[in-house]
């Protein structure tokens, strides 16, 4: 196959991956911050999101971790990565789950030497223009950097736009539970918009929940390990393209995982 671009600039094919996974070019430019976005059937928004994120700062790179979406999201992003050297893609075959995708993305970030991974949804609920504020919040206060900066809907100045009452109620209950039962000193522990210092993440014991409860699970492990968690107000806007992937099964699995975490939280 003829190569138009030099290796590492989007033109090279990745070698075959274990488990039949597909990946974009294996050579990455060096970088400090990697935006990690997990996708499942996000064809309608991912192309625009990639260009918005890469446009926020020329130092940012992005990794899309797709679970072989039936709508072809993975193939679409692999194609975009050929002309965008700061965009990377992993299409996983035979694995599924938001938690396992985020954690795998963070581990890849670490292996490539990034200092910070920033997780966000593919659906524009999280505004790429808020990325610099999240990164700034990781900076040291009194000599101590934050381990995690959360894009929070539940601190002064934070907002939720467009959610139906049922989702608002569920979210209030989950956050109440996380604060008082899981003993997490955080107001919005279920936010998926978060920047994490990988030096800290790498020291967490794991394993992590493989589904939506990874969001609380990661914070519990950070808190137990003595990490500082800060909350930055954001406006969260419900998706206008595609559908939520948090279906009945995902919500049931997350509820069961949260119950199991409560037992751990109160064990002496």
In the bound state with ligand GDP, the residue whose beta carbon lies nearer, of 123 and 231, is 123
Name 65's bridge partners.
Answer: 38, 90
In the bound state with Mg ion, the residue whose beta carbon lies nearer, of 25 and 53, is 53
65 is a site residue for ligand GDP (CB under 6 A): yes
246 is a site residue for ligand GDP (CB under 6 A): yes
Residues in contact with 203: Cβ distance below 8 Å, sequence separation at least 6, in sequence order: 225
Q: Which two tokens stand for residue 92?
A: 């996983």
Nearest to 196 by CA among 126, 110, 100, 117: 117
Nearest to 87 by CA among 14, 44, 36, 128: 36
Tokens 């509820």: give the residue. 255
Strands 87-91 and 61-66: parallel
Binding mask 108-127 for Mg ion (x = CB under 5 A): -------------x-x-x--
Which one of Mg ion, ligand GDP, none is in contact with 200 (Cβ closer than 5 to 8 A by kind)? none
In the bound state with ligand GDP, the residue whose beta carbon lies nearer, of 93 and 203, is 93
Options 4-12, 118-126, 172-180, 257-265: segment touching ligand GDP (CB under 6 A): 118-126
Alpha helices in the chain (DSSP H): 43-56, 73-81, 98-111, 131-137, 165-180, 198-201, 214-224, 248-266
**Residues 160, 152: Cα–Cα separation, whole Å:** 10
In the bound state with ligand GDP, the residue whose beta carbon lies nearer, of 244 and 266, is 244
Stretch 80-109 residues interacting with ligand GDP (CB under 6 A): 96-98, 101
Name 39's bridge partners.
Answer: 66
Which one of ligand GDP, Mg ion, none is in contact with 98 (Cβ closer than 5 to 8 A by kind)? ligand GDP
> C-beta of 112: minimal distance to Mg ion in Å?
26
Options 19-27, 117-125, 130-138, 196-204: segment touching ligand GDP (CB under 6 A): 117-125
> C-beta of 159: minimal distance to Mg ion in Å?
15
Residues lying near ligand GDP in the complex (CB under 6 A): 37-40, 42, 65-67, 96-98, 101, 121-123, 125, 192, 244-246
């Amino acid at each position: 196959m003829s190569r138009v671009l030099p290796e590492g600039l989007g033109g090279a094919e990745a070698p075959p991956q274990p488990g039949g996974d597909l990946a974009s070019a294996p050579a990455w430019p060096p970088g400090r911050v990697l935006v990690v976005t997990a996708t499942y059937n996000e064809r309608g928004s991912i192309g625009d999101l990639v260009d918005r994120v890469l446009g926020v700062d020329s130092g940012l790179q992005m990794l899309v971790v797709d679970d072989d979406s039936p709508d072809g999201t993975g193939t679409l992003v692999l194609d975009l990565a050929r002309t965008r050297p700061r965009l990377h893609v992993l299409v996983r075959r035979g694995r599924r789950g938001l938690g396992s995708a985020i954690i795998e993305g963070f581990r890849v970030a670490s292996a490539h030497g990034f200092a910070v991974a920033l997780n966000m949804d593919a659906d524009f609920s999280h505004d790429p223009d808020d990325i610099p504020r999240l990164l700034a919040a990781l900076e040291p206060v009194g000599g101590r950097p934050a381990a995690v900066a959360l894009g929070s809907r539940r601190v002064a100045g934070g907002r939720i736009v467009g959610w139906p009452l049922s989702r608002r109620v569920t979210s209030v209950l989950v956050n109440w539970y996380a604060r008082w039962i899981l003993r997490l000193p955080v107001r919005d522990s279920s936010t998926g918009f978060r920047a994490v210092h990988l030096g800290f993440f790498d020291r967490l014991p794991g394993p992590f929940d493989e589904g939506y409860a990874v969001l609380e699970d990661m914070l519990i492990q950070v808190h137990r390990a003595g990490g500082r968690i800060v909350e930055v107000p954001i406006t969260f806007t419900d998706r206008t393209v595609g559908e939520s992937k948090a279906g009945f099964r995902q919500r049931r699995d997350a509820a069961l995982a949260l119950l199991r975490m409560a037992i751990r939280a109160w064990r002496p």
